[in-house]
Structure 1
Amino acid sequence: MIGEYRLTYCGRVDLVFKALADPSRRLLLDTLRRSSGLTLTELSAKLPQMTRFGVSSHLRVLADADLISVVRSGRRKLHYLNPVPLVEVQDRWLTDYTATTSRALLALRHALEEREMTETSFPSDTAPTTVFTIVIRAPRARVWEALTATGTPRGWLYDTVTTTDWRVGSSYAQDAEGFVMIDGEVLVVEECSRLTLGFDCHWDADVDAEPAGILDYVLTDADETGELTKLVVSLSAMGPATAAAAERDTPYIYSSLKSELETGTSL
């Protein structure tokens, strides 16, 4: 099992480094970091130095490495930067090497995340604002159990405690030592496949003033064995303060979930 895991993990790492090795693909990642949720046509228009076919080919490589998430919204296919594999590489692999190497990856991550705030755009309410994809070495039932655990602190989610009965139309709340950080309505429950929640945040005045968004989890098998789960986390209809917090914190949160399920310890 351990050898099989290492083979699978190393294969994913190879795809990440292969994808990052090409300057055109790094340029695509930079573009998606500044303006998320773009179609192929929109990306091609922003990168006139690349042909449409070239953009499409590079996007396939990035998608294979899970460095982008692709979401359909009506007839449109939207592309989002997915930094989770970079977090995984740093936490699981590069930290075993020298501090210099780790700092080099951190500099790369900062380069990918650098943006001009005036260029940030938020897609319409019909499309997600933020999408993250992560592959977890655990069956869907275990991932679902972790996402829906109630009554006890969840280490991967800052030790918050969720209270709900998970019935559609019911309310839920995530409590941190008596303070409700997030609450909302349970919108969709498809066991081990999909969970959609209203997402009303209260951890500071800026997010508290914004209307509730939507948090959507989609779980699928990542291979034929059923031992790998692909988790896609989408957040939509969020205000700018909530969206900024989601982009900042979501990769760490779900990397921590992955670590907890695979090693027994959250980050």
Structure 2
Amino acid sequence: MDSVFKALADPTRRLLLDRLHAHNGRTLRELCEHLAMARQSATQHLDILERANLVTVVRRGRERLHYLNPAPIHEIEERWISGFDRPRLETIDAIKKQAEEYAMTDTPTPEVVPNYVYVTYIKAGAEQVWRALTDADLTARYWGHANVSDWQPGSTWEHRRVDGSGAVDVVGRVIATEPPTRLVVTFEDNPDAAREPSVVTFLVEPHEDIVRLTVTHENLPNAEMLGGISQGWPAVLANLKSLLETGEVLPQAPWEMSFARG
């Protein structure tokens, strides 16, 4: 937590985070536009943000794309805000947002939904994490759904309920599979919708006795879906982490806690 507060203390680093909040997945060149500093200095600031786990770098070919990682900010919010005066702060925030809406023009603007990136570290091997992502019985334990597929490129996959109904809540197609480090799938929670499916990438990076698991969810259709997965992915991955590190999932379903405030 000290490294997070240190990283946030600098106005340039806060500006970089603001730019990623406005448009996630930027290159170094895009982030440096209109900054009154050399690229080397900006790189040093980004390195500090990355070490604090506030920024995650995803490689796409020769490019390095920078994404906000919401996990540390979420931890600060949970520790320093949730337990104190959340109702009053939420009321003030709602008033502020409504005032800003009244101040805006009536001209509609296209909705730009940022990509979602989440990073967690797990004490496990890459093969263990890969199996947890692709084994139907294991996903049923920590996700409440069985992810069913042969996980070959071009194959379909289904997110089936395990309540006995056999209902399928999400479907998709496997785009790429590189065991045990990279899995890319489409994610269609509403297959009948006239839009391109969103895409989820699981990146498993081993280092000695741990792995860094990065989940990137792209091509989101709207802010509503962004809000839903922003609560869903941290809960699911926390349950996965608990299962691999302790042999047991969390004692209560973590995604239910996301809606239990108030």
Query: Counterpart amino acid of 1:237?
Result: N
Q: 2:59 aligns with which of 72, 84, 95?
A: 72
The 5 Å alignment of 1:35-50 reads 35-45=23-33, 48=35
Question: How far apart, in 2, do the equivalents of 1:233 and 1:133 lie?
Answer: 6
Question: How far apart, in 2, do the equivalents of 1:138 and 1:245 lie?
Answer: 28
> How far 1:66 sits from its partner (Å)?
1.9
Residue matched to 1:260: 243
> How far 1:27 sits from its partner (Å)?
2.7
**Aligned-residue identity in percent:** 33
> How far 1:49 sits from its partner (Å)?
5.2
Q: Secondary structure of the equivalent of 2:196? A: coil
Alpha-carbon distance change, 212 to 130 in structure 1, aligned in 2, over 3 angstroms: same
Question: How far apart, in 1, do the equivalents of 2:111 and 2:9 lie?
Answer: 26
The 5 Å alignment of 1:218-229 reads 218-221=203-206, 223=207, 225=208, 227-229=209-211
Residue matched to 2:233: 250
Q: Secondary structure of the equivalent of 1:42? A: helix
Question: How far apart, in 2, do the equivalents of 1:118 and 1:81 lie?
Answer: 24
Query: Counterpart amino acid of 1:161?
Result: A
Query: Is the contact between residue 111 and residue 222 of structure 2 (CA under 8 Å) also seen in structure 1?
Result: no
Residue matched to 1:166: 151
Query: Counterpart amino acid of 1:44?
Result: C
Question: How far apart, in 2, do the equivalents of 1:198 and 1:220 lie?
Answer: 21
Kindly provide the CA deviation profile for residues 21-74 of structure 1, in whole angstroms up to 9, marking residues without a partner as x: 33332332222112111122222225x355544322111111112211112334
Q: 1:197 aligns with which of 167, 185, 191?
A: 185
Residue matched to 2:219: 237
Moved more, 162-171 or 57-66: 162-171
Query: Is the contact between residue 219 and residue 232 of structure 1 (CA under 8 Å) also seen in structure 2?
Result: yes
Q: Does 1:142 align with 2:128?
A: yes
Alpha-carbon distance change, 153 to 228 in structure 1, aligned in 2, over 3 angstroms: closer
> How far 1:180 sits from its partner (Å)?
1.8
Residue matched to 1:54: 41
Alpha-carbon distance change, 50 to 120 in structure 1, aligned in 2, over 3 angstroms: farther
Q: Does 1:83 align with 2:65?
A: no
Gaps of 5+ in 2: 102-107, 255-262
Query: Is the contact between residue 170 and residue 186 of structure 1 (CA under 8 Å) also seen in structure 2?
Result: yes
Question: How far apart, in 2, do the equivalents of 1:14 and 1:82 lie?
Answer: 16
Query: Is the contact between residue 27 and residue 64 of structure 2 (CA under 8 Å) also seen in structure 1?
Result: yes
> How far 1:119 sits from its partner (Å)?
8.8
Q: Does 1:28 align with 2:16?
A: yes
Higher-Rg structure is: 2
Q: Secondary structure of the equivalent of 2:45? A: helix
Alpha-carbon distance change, 190 to 66 in structure 1, aligned in 2, over 3 angstroms: same
Question: How far apart, in 2, do the equivalents of 1:53 and 1:39 lie?
Answer: 14
Kindly provide the CA deviation profile for residues 203-224 of structure 1, in whole angstroms up to 9, marking residues without a partner as x: 9x8xx44322322111111x3x
Query: Counterpart amino acid of 1:167?
Result: Q
Q: Secondary structure of the equivalent of 1:217? A: strand
Q: Secondary structure of the equivalent of 1:201? A: coil
Alpha-carbon distance change, 119 to 198 in structure 1, aligned in 2, over 3 angstroms: closer
Query: Is the contact between residue 84 and residue 255 of structure 1 (CA under 8 Å) also seen in structure 2?
Result: no
Residue matched to 1:188: 176
Moved more, 33-42 or 251-260: 251-260
Query: Is the contact between residue 87 and residue 255 of structure 1 (CA under 8 Å) also seen in structure 2?
Result: no
Q: CA RMSD in A?
A: 3.6
Gaps of 5+ in 1: 1-12, 124-128
Higher relative contact order (CA 8 A, sep 6+): 1
Residue matched to 2:260: none
Q: Secondary structure of the equivalent of 2:132? A: helix
Query: Counterpart amino acid of 1:63?
Result: E
